[in-house]
Amino acid sequence: MGHIVILTGAGLSAESGLGTFRDKEGLWTRYDIDEVATPQGFARNPGLVHEFYNARRANCRQAQPNPAHIALADLQHFAADRVTLITQNVDDLLERAGASDVIHMHGHLTGALCAACEHRWTAPDTMSIADACPSCGQHSTRPDVVWFGEIPYHMDKIDTALATADLFVAIGTSGNVYPAAGFVQDASARGARTLELNLAHSAITPLFDETRLGPASKIVPKWVAEIQQ
Ligand code: APR
């Protein structure tokens, strides 16, 4: 088993009850991205943005890892240095399933960031505009998540992983948001085989060598068991 690079999206956590963004009832069908997931929206109405992420943080606390998170954590324990886990998700369900060194390219709900001095700390259960940064004292605290129009985190680490991937696997992502949606082409251009695990065909299905359809809680453990043989 060579180096496996895994990219996960909201579909990985859908069966844990966290919902997705673009499926029916998805978050973006109920909230305006511009208002709650852009720096401009935060500047206009930080209280609304804190409310949005406080609600997602509460959902996340109540959610439990599902068999797909557990299978990926088991795979990492089985082949530690040969598995790179990249997630677009801001939940901590992979870590709570036992995974480590998960690359959160869109940040994480459990993190807080000071927009003034860039200090980072563990987010309280609820954040508000009244919070002061524990380091500089300014009232400019925000969730440590990457909003539209901002640069995703850890791109250098991700690029190195894609360059050395023997197998690239995308799990539960619609392939609508770049740069993540372009990773399959990066990996494939540099010689990796590519596999998509999803409930339905995505915008990038044609770019994969193989696509398997089904709920992540079923098809991810099955795939992990297969490659551990
Ligand atoms: N099992 C597997 N896949 C599933 C399941 C499931 N139970 N339920 C839904 N899916 C798949 C859908 O078929 C879809 O392809 O999960 C994907 C969800 O797509 P999106 O809602 O677009 O989520 P994602 O691809 O992670 O979005 C990427 O967009 O809004 C930004 O920052 C946000 O990280 C997010 C990024």
> Mind listing the domains of the chain with CATH numbers?
1-17+65-106+151-229 (3.40.50.1220), 19-62+112-145 (3.30.1600.10)
The sign of the CA dihedral 224, 195, 198, 65 is positive
- 195 Cα: distance to centroid of ligand 1 (angstroms): 16
Beta-bridged to residue 104, according to DSSP, are 87
Whether 176 is in the pocket of ligand 1, judged by its Cβ within 6 Å, is yes
The residue to mutate among 12, 21, 36, 69, having the most atoms of ligand 1 within 8 angstroms of its beta carbon, is 21
**The sheet that has 210-213: what strands, in order across it?**
103-104, 83-87, 4-8, 167-171, 193-198, 210-213
pTM: predicted TM-score of the whole model, two decimal places: 0.97
Q: For residue 123, what is the DSSP state?
A: P
Look at residue 80 and tell me whether its pLDDT is greater than 80.
no
pLDDT band at 1 (very low <50, low <70, confident <90, very high): confident
Of all protein residues, whose CA lies closest to atom 9 belonging to ligand 1? 11
**16 ligand 1 Cβ < 6 A:** no
Query: For residue 212, with 0-12 CB atoms within 10 Å meaning exposed, 13-18 middle and 19 or more buried, which class applies?
Result: middle
216 ligand 1 Cβ < 6 A: yes
Q: How confident is the model at residue 117 (pLDDT cuts 50, 70, 90)?
A: very high
106 included as an active-site residue: yes
Q: What is the pLDDT of residues 189-200, one digit of tens each?
A: 999 999 999 999
Element at 152 (helix H, strand E): none
Q: What is the pLDDT of residues 172-189, one digit of tens each?
A: 999 999 999 999 999 999
Atom of ligand 1 nearest to the CA of 146: 32
